[in-house]
Amino acid sequence: MTRYDQNTITPDSASKQMYKQMTNPIRDNRIVSDKTFAVRLCKFLEQVEVHDLASEEEKEYLLGVARRLLNYQKASAQTAEETEYFKRLGL
């Protein structure tokens, strides 16, 4: 349960215990642990077909996000295997 105090949210003790037990998915400055995720996301978004301008803009935005994630993943590669994976793909 959460208590609301003058526009401030203060978790009660049960909520604090729940948050302490949760694990952080971001470890060692890595957003995703699967080396193929960003590549697959980019490929998927490139294949999505849209039929109106608003959807095209949303697709382009998501492609930009996916490409930034891919660039970050390449720059923060932590193993030789991961680096070799990107080289094999010509990235």
Per-residue pLDDT of the chain (91 residues; tens, 9 = 90+): 444 445 555 555 665 665 556 555 555 666 666 888 899 999 999 999 999 999 999 999 999 999 998 998 888 888 899 899 999 999 8
| 70 within 8 A of 91, measured Cβ to Cβ | yes
Question: Domains of the chain: which residue ranges?
Answer: 2-88
pLDDT at 35: 85
| 56 within 8 A of 35, measured Cβ to Cβ | no
Q: Is the pTM of this model over 0.75?
A: no
Distance CA 76, CA 68 (A): 12
Half-sphere exposure of 7 (CA within 13 A, CB side): 0
Task: Fill in the amino acid letter for 8.
Answer: T
Residue 7 tokens read as: 């526009």
pLDDT at 77: 84
pLDDT at 32: 67
Residue 34 tokens read as: 């699967």
